[in-house]
Structure 1
Amino acid sequence: MGHAEIRTEDNASTVTHFILLGFSDLPNLQGFLFGMFSLVYITILIGNSSIIVITILDPALQKPMYFFLANFSSLEICYVSVTLPRILYNIGTQNRNISKVACATQTCFFLILGATECFLLAVMSYDRYVAICNPLHYPLVMNPVKCNQLAAGSWLGGMPFQVAQTCQIFSLSFCNSNRINHFFCDLPPILKLACEDTSVNELSVYLVTIFIATVPFMLILASYSKIIATILKLPTATGRAKAFSTCSSHLLVVFLFFGSATITYLRPKSTHSPGTDKLFSLFYTIVTPMFNPLIYSLRNKDVIAALRKLLLRK
């Protein structure tokens, strides 16, 4: 494993490269990890691509709900592609060096796509709210123009904040150590390497997280509180079961993603440990994108029917 280049000026060591330690503490499992992560990546690509294809090809899925689901699947492919190929490269070559520019780029895209996921999950809950609580107005409210605007807002909404935050953090001086005890360039382990006061940066992370994660999460909870109240008023058990089935998969994804991400970013820096950070990061960067296609397809008869028709056609 190579060492990062460090330039010494005025008795201070300035890091120009980092070393992603990743899973280097498991030397006997490198082959197994490479095979496992390769399989996971292929599974994510196939599963989410299948959802995108069937939502485009099947006329029965030309609805706002599936339009946002296709956006969500596209997002998951982009999201894991920011981290998993680099993990596979590091394990396969045992070269864990990453330049400061490459590290900042990875962090920036990871944060932007994470913000997109928060906003898109909130938009999907709003779609379910309108469909269940105001079904007569649903075609008018969730028209194609509105859907495109909501999708575009989700993809672009967090970009200014995350680009600014990335620039702010990577303008810090990093010295004494260039080893990131993580499998990708994430904010908590990077802040630990700074050799100056990071209290302002930590506050910035909290504020951005509150805006990008907490606000959408509260909107999701508000939407689902009204959705559940409406469902409980439905006259038939069949109607209630059908309404719950369309919402339960989305709620499961929401709690998996927001739970692990919030614990990672809202804990004080002093309470962060490399093992815990890696565990929670695995959940919202890899595990959730892998299970999303299964969660949405197994709980949705329309998706299963469309997938069956596509396979039979092939």
Structure 2
Amino acid sequence: MDIKNNVTTVLILGFQNLHNYKFLLFCLLLLAFCVSLCGNALIIILVSYSKNLKSPMYTFLSQLSLCDLLLSIDSIPSTLHVVLKEGATVSLAGCIIQFIFFVISEGSECLLLTVMSYDRYLAICNPLHYASIMGDGLCYKLSIMAWTPSFMYSLVLSVSISGLNFCGPNIIDHFFCDLSPILDLSCSDVSFVQMETKLLTVPAVVFPFLVIVISYVYIAKAILKMSSLSGRQKAFFTCSSHLTAVCLYYGTVMVAYIFPASLHSLTMNKILTMIYAVVTPSLNPIIYSLRNKDIWKAITNIANKPKWH
């Protein structure tokens, strides 16, 4: 990565007004990191080895867990260091690399949530043909479609950011190497990168969100037409976890990246970033497994599996 600059290191300030609460915040972040690592890794292992989880829904769920795992590893350890030291230095190249991996995991998560909503649409609105439509071929194609664009987005942004000059200042008033703080370090004209980012949010965030909304409109209509109360409840519980994850994730991401920065303060931006970069990867395993009988059954089967000595 060839970066033309006079700045080699960046000072990340973190949370400067929370001196008295840094150990509490550190413990909460550490807890979130442990929950994310254990919860998402558990889902990936369960889907890989449990026969009752061999379906497209759980295949996409395991990939979503992989995204959350990558996001947590990319963002939380550095945040823990920043909070504990009340600021930390990192190389400029390292800061940009952290953001690039962030783009990959966040972009893939957006598209995987969209794929999961389409999968739920087929299962509820077209149940008789679901198995024939959502076969292994389509499942793999949708997975590729969810991951490939995020790598393309990261490549485009890395090339654009690498073309900027960084000549100071070298201070980021954030706990994370996000796009806006990185652009604030540049003494070049960043309007092109900002415009490029806005354009990329259309296929990465806006279009997927519209697909999810349309899918759930049809899902809601299909659920209301069901004559069986048990059928309605089953369909509702099947979709409620995914809908909760979508609202939490897209709500914060759209406010942070689509709405003008002037509408929310620096503190609000830190809170929004904390939600989708730290909280969401920790909550997703809980949201998807709390009422999921299949996952609990898989956990029970593994726990009761006889051990050979």
Tell me the equivalent position of 2:192. 200
Q: Report the alpha carbon displacement of residue 272 of structure 1 after superposing the two structures with TM.
A: 4.8
Contact 1:169 1:201 in 2 (8 A): yes
Deviates further, 126-135 or 140-149: 140-149
Offset, 1:160: 1.4
> Which aligned pairs between 1:134-153 and structure 2 lie closer than 5 A?
134-153=126-145
Which range moved further: 171-180 or 117-126? 171-180
1:125 matched to 2:97: no
Q: After the TM superposition, which of the residue ranges 101-110 and 160-169 deviates more from structure 2?
A: 160-169
Give, as a single letter, the amino acid of the residue that structure 1 aligns with 2:209.
F
Contact 2:40 2:68 in 1 (8 A): yes
Please state how far the C-alpha of 1:92 moved relative to its aligned partner.
4.3
- Asked if the contact 2:32/2:282 (under 8 Å) is kept, the reply is yes
Any idea what the Cα deviations from partners look like across 1:254-297, whole Å, max 9, x if unmatched? 01111101111112244453201110011111111111111111
Aligned to 1:244: 236
| Aligned equivalents of 1:272, 1:170: Cα separation in 2 | 28
Paired letter, 1:58? S
Q: Distance in 1 between matches of 2:169 and 2:272?
A: 24
Once the two structures are superposed, the pairs formed by residues 21-60 of structure 1 within 5 Å of their partners are 21-60=13-52
Q: How does 1:183-198 map to 2 (within 5 A)?
A: 183-198=175-190
User: C-alpha separation between the residues in 2 aligned to 1:185 and 1:304?
Assistant: 37
270-279 vs 61-70, which moves further: 270-279
Unaligned runs of 5+ in 2: none
- Cα distance between partner residues in 1 of 2:216 and 2:299: 28
- Report the equivalent of 2:69: 77
Deviation readout 1:53-102 (Å, 9 max, x if unpaired): 22222211111111111111111111111111112233445661111110
Q: Is the 8 A contact 2:209 2:250 kept in 1?
A: yes
Please give the residue correspondences for 1:124-273 in structure 2 after superposition, counting only pairs within 5 Å: 124-273=116-265
Q: Answer yes or no: is the 8 Å Cα contact 1:107–1:166 preserved in 2.
A: no
CA distance in 2, matches of 1:274, 1:298: 34
Between 250-259 and 201-210, report the one with greater CA deviation.
Answer: 201-210
- SS state at 1:14 partner: coil
SS at match of 1:97: strand
**Amino acid across the alignment from 1:183:** F
Instruction: Give the C-alpha shift of residue 223 in structure 1.
Output: 0.9
The aligned amino acid for 2:219 is I
What is the TM-score with the length of structure 1 in the denominator? 0.90
Q: Give the letter for the 2:71 counterpart.
A: Y
Give per-residue Cα distances to partners, 1:2-45, cap 9 Å, x unaligned.
xxxxxxx9xxx832221111124323333333222222111111
Matched, 1:62 2:54: yes
Percent of aligned positions that are identical: 39
Report whether the alignment pairs 1:18 with 2:14: no
Q: Alignment RMSD, CA only?
A: 2.0
What letter is aligned with 1:136?
L
Runs of 4+ in 1 over 4 A off after TM superposition: 92-95
**Residues 103 and 153 in structure 2, CA contact (< 8 A), matched pair in contact too:** no
Aligned length: 303
Higher relative contact order (CA 8 A, sep 6+): 2
Where in structure 1 are there 5+ consecutive unaligned residues? 1-8
Is 1:246–1:299's contact at 8 Å kept on the other side of the alignment?
no
